[in-house]
């Protein structure tokens, strides 16, 4: 049972705590924006601005989900914060949901900054397209929260930042978030089907008709299955922690 | 008086290693303060974790307030201050308190919690700016936030300065007045002595009440008489046969169960200086017993 007042307080505390760590928030926000500026804007053709923006937006927005769960959970498992929660009557799901709230706020901050850059970089989306793309990317952070949670529960606090990067960067590259996936050999394009980020990208690209051509519902179905599977495994692992 | 905790025939071992707890029996009454003593690695923290439901004993039965220790009933009524590495660095003290109060059905009013744990001067500070002793007081406040019936304090005074420690002692006494059961582990024997109604010794996987260990309890009840004098040891033994005497130069030390009688004799018959009489502390008794065992 989750008590609403307690949940709001938990989310607020988590948010305040995250955004007070300026040494973490500022670089973590600027990193994907700079990445977008260098590779998505400077090296982009005049006809691919929208395509690059959408993919780099997803890249930027899944970062906070992976890091907030992967790195923080590993740390909080190790230093005893998780133990204090387990000893109190609070539902463990409240802790996880509050982390989702905080990661979502962080993702939206990244989305705002990147969209601001996009406005000056030749991106031409209608407001509806723009909102839809952000909404899809935001929903897409869910499986990444689960993946981050799995990493956070599996490795030590010291190893977590490195392991999260080892997941984050290859995942982004291999899903075509940095370079168009059509530039990759065919086998690698098929491998991308295993990665949730690939399906998020394809779903978001469907708003500007720039997908590989597979039906939207197929990507949605695979993504939902992957999310559920990750949730299932993470839950088992969380109960054991 | 009803029992707060009952442990019967508890055994515990980590994966087929030598058992840490072996057929341990223990009953804690409501409203009493207990202290567990024992060398490092004796299993004090393991025992507390079993009572908290964080570890399942290999065999035996645990009953906390008549319920399973991991039940929601117990989570609402048991508070624990464990040895923790740290909390989220950028959260303020008052935010921690409000958060943990929100987890409980009947929390202690915040002002009372703040005064009980002496947190008022640094409510607005984030965790990373607290001193070691202030952190300990915050951990204690978190343990007490739900107004628990049973409180575990695992090494509560580690890192505390003298003043913080005195406040901690005061807080424990207040808890006792409120009829709460307190179980504390500590390295400071005088702390255990000052606070606990009952001292428990954890040794070789079993938990014994100190009063049930005659060699320790008896030594502990003795008094220590110290003085300097020019008289010879032989003269003293002549006058007071059957005493436990130790002589170093002109320094005399007597251990006795009858300090009144001995003192009377000493003052009447001999000229002595620098007289000092004290009950033997538990620390001395404990050390002398442990030394005797290992010798």
Nearest to B102 among A6, A16, A84 (CB): A6
Within-domain flag for B287: no
Within-domain flag for B97: yes
In this complex, is the C-beta atom of B278 within 8 Å of any C-beta atom belonging to chain A? Answer: no
- Residues in chain B with CB shorter than 8 Å from the CB of A81 are 84, 86-88
What pLDDT, on a 0 to 100 scale, did the predictor assign at position A211?
Answer: 86
Task: Provide the whole-model pTM.
Answer: 0.82
For residues B108 and B70, state if they share a domain: yes
What pLDDT, on a 0 to 100 scale, did the predictor assign at position B127?
Answer: 95
What pLDDT, on a 0 to 100 scale, did the predictor assign at position B295?
Answer: 47
Query: Rounded distance, CA A216 to CA A207, Å?
Result: 10
Within-domain flag for B91: yes
In this complex, is the C-beta atom of B290 within 8 Å of any C-beta atom belonging to chain A? Answer: no
Within-domain flag for B205: yes
User: What average pLDDT does chain B have?
Assistant: 86
Q: Residue A21: pLDDT above 90?
A: no
Q: From the candidates B85, B125, B139, B148, which should be mutated to test the interface with A, based on the most A CB atoms within 10 A? A: B85
B287 Cα to chain A: minimum distance (Å): 33
Q: Least CA distance to A82: which residue of chain B? A: B87
For residues B17 and B89, state if they share a domain: yes
Q: From the candidates B52, B64, B88, which should be mutated to test the interface with A, based on the most A CB atoms within 10 A? A: B88
For residues B173 and B81, state if they share a domain: yes
Mean pLDDT of B238-264: 82
Confidence bin at A238 (pLDDT 50/70/90): confident
For residues B29 and B95, state if they share a domain: yes
For residues B24 and B124, state if they share a domain: yes
The CATH number linked to B200 is 3.40.50.300
Q: From the candidates B99, B129, B135, B150, which should be mutated to test the interface with A, based on the most A CB atoms within 10 A? A: B99
Within-domain flag for B293: no
For residues B131 and B16, state if they share a domain: yes
Q: ipTM, 2 decimals?
A: 0.88
Nearest to B102 among A5, A16, A21 (CB): A5
Q: Which three-class secondary structure state does DSSP give residue B6?
A: strand
Query: Rounded distance, CA B219 to CA B212, Å?
Result: 13
Within-domain flag for B228: yes
Tokens read off for A93 = 């799901």
Lowest-pLDDT range of A199-213, B5-19, B106-120, B237-251: B237-251
For residues B132 and B13, state if they share a domain: yes
Lowest-pLDDT range of A123-132, B73-82, B241-250: B241-250
For residues B135 and B96, state if they share a domain: yes
pLDDT in tens, A135-163: 999 999 999 999 999 999 999 999 999 99
- The answer to whether the CB atoms of B84 and A90 lie below 8 A apart is no
Burial B189-205 (b: 16+ CB within 10 A, else e): bebbbebbeebbbbeeb
Compute how many other C-beta atoms are within 10 angstroms of the C-beta atom of residue B212: 10
Q: Residue A198: pLDDT above 50?
A: yes
Domain count of the fold of chain B: 2
- The answer to whether the CB atoms of B103 and A84 lie below 8 A apart is no
- Residues in chain A with CB shorter than 8 Å from the CB of B76 are 89
Query: Rounded distance, CA A198 to CA A58, Å?
Result: 10
Q: Residue A232: pLDDT above 60?
A: yes
The CATH number linked to B229 is 3.30.70
Q: Are A160 and A152 in contact (CB under 8 A)?
A: yes
Query: Rounded distance, CA B213 to CA B219, Å?
Result: 10
pLDDT in tens, A22-42: 888 898 899 999 999 988 888
For residues B161 and B92, state if they share a domain: yes
Q: Residue B291: pLDDT above 70?
A: no
Range of the domain at B241: 223-279
Select the more confidently predicted residue: B222 or A117: A117
B48 Cα to chain A: minimum distance (Å): 12
Confidence bin at B29 (pLDDT 50/70/90): very high
A-B Cβ pairs (cutoff 8 Å, strict): 69
Within-domain flag for B290: no
Q: Are B152 and B143 in contact (CB under 8 A)?
A: yes
Task: Give the distance between the most distant pair of CA atoms in chain A.
Answer: 57
Q: Residue B292: pLDDT above 80?
A: no
Helices H, strands E: what count in chain B? 11, 13
Within-domain flag for B289: no
Tokens read off for A91 = 């539902």
For residues B242 and B196, state if they share a domain: no
Q: Which three-class secondary structure state does DSSP give residue B67?
A: strand
Owner of token pair 């804690």: B28
Q: Residue B217: pLDDT above 70?
A: no
For residues B19 and B153, state if they share a domain: yes
> Which residue blocks in chain B are alpha helix, DSSP H?
44-51, 72-77, 93-102, 110-116, 132-144, 162-177, 189-195, 214-221, 233-239, 259-269, 282-294
For residues B178 and B44, state if they share a domain: yes
Nearest to A9 among B102, B126, B142 (CB): B102
Confidence bin at B152 (pLDDT 50/70/90): very high
pLDDT in tens, A44-70: 776 788 999 999 999 999 999 999 899
Query: Rounded distance, CA B287 to CA B215, Å?
Result: 12
User: What average pLDDT does chain A have?
Assistant: 91
């Amino acid at each position: 049972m989750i008590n609403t007042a307690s949940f709001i307080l938990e989310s607020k505390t988590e948010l305040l705590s995250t955004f007070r760590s300026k040494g973490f928030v500022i670089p973590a926000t600027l990193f994907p924006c700079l990445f977008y500026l260098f590779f998505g804007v400077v090296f982009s053709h005049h006809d691919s601005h929208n395509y690059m923006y959408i993919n780099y937006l997803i890249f930027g927005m899944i970062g906070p989900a992976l890091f907030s769960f992967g790195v923080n959970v590993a740390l909080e498992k190790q230093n005893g914060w998780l133990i204090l929660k387990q000893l109190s009557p609070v539902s463990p799901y409240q802790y996880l949901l509050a982390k989702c709230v905080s990661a979502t706020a962080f993702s939206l901050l990244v989305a705002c900054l990147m969209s601001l850059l996009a406005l000056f970089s030749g991106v031409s989306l209608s407001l509806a397209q723009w909102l839809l793309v952000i909404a899809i990317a935001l929903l897409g952070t869910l499986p990444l929260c689960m993946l981050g949670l799995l990493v956070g529960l599996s490795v030590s606090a010291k190893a977590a930042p490195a392991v999260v990067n080892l997941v984050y960067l290859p995942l982004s590259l291999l899903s075509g978030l940095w370079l168009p996936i059509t530039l990759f050999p065919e086998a690698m394009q098929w491998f991308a089907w295993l990665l949730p980020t690939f399906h998020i990208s394809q779903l978001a690209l469907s708003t500007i008709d720039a997908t590989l051509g597979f039906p939207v519902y197929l990507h949605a179905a695979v993504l939902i299955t992957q999310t559920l599977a990750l949730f299932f495994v993470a839950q088992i692992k969380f109960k054991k922690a | 008086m009803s029992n707060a905790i009952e442990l019967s025939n508890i055994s515990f071992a980590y994966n087929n290693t030598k058992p840490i707890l072996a057929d341990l029996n223990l009953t804690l009454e409501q409203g009493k303060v207990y202290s567990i003593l024992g060398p490092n690695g004796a299993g004090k923290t393991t025992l507390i974790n079993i009572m908290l439901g964080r570890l399942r004993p290999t065999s035996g039965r645990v009953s906390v307030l008549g319920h399973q220790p991991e039940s929601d009933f117990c989570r609402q009524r048991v508070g624990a201050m464990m040895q923790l590495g740290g909390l989220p660095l950028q959260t303020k003290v008052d935010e921690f308190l409000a958060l943990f109060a929100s987890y409980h059905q009947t929390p202690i009013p915040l002002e009372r919690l703040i005064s009980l744990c002496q947190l008022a001067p640094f409510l607005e500070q984030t965790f990373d700016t607290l001193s070691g002793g202030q952190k300990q007081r915050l951990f204690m406040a978190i343990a007490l936030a739900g107004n628990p019936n049973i409180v575990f304090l695992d090494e509560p005074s580690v890192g505390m300065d003298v003043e913080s420690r005195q406040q901690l002692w005061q807080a424990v006494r207040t808890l006792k007045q409120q009829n709460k059961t307190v179980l504390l582990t500590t390295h400071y024997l005088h702390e255990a002595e000052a606070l606990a109604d009952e001292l428990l010794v954890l040794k070789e996987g079993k938990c014994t009440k100190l009063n049930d260990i005659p060699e320790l309890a008896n030594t502990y009840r003795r008094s220590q008489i110290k003085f300097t004098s020019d008289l010879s040891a032989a003269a003293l033994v002549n006058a007071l046969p059957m005493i436990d005497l130790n002589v170093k130069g002109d320094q005399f030390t007597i251990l006795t169960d009858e300090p009144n009688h001995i003192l009377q004799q000493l003052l009447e018959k001999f000229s002595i200086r620098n007289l000092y009489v004290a009950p033997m502390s538990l620390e001395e008794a404990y050390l002398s017993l442990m030394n005797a065992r290992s010798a």
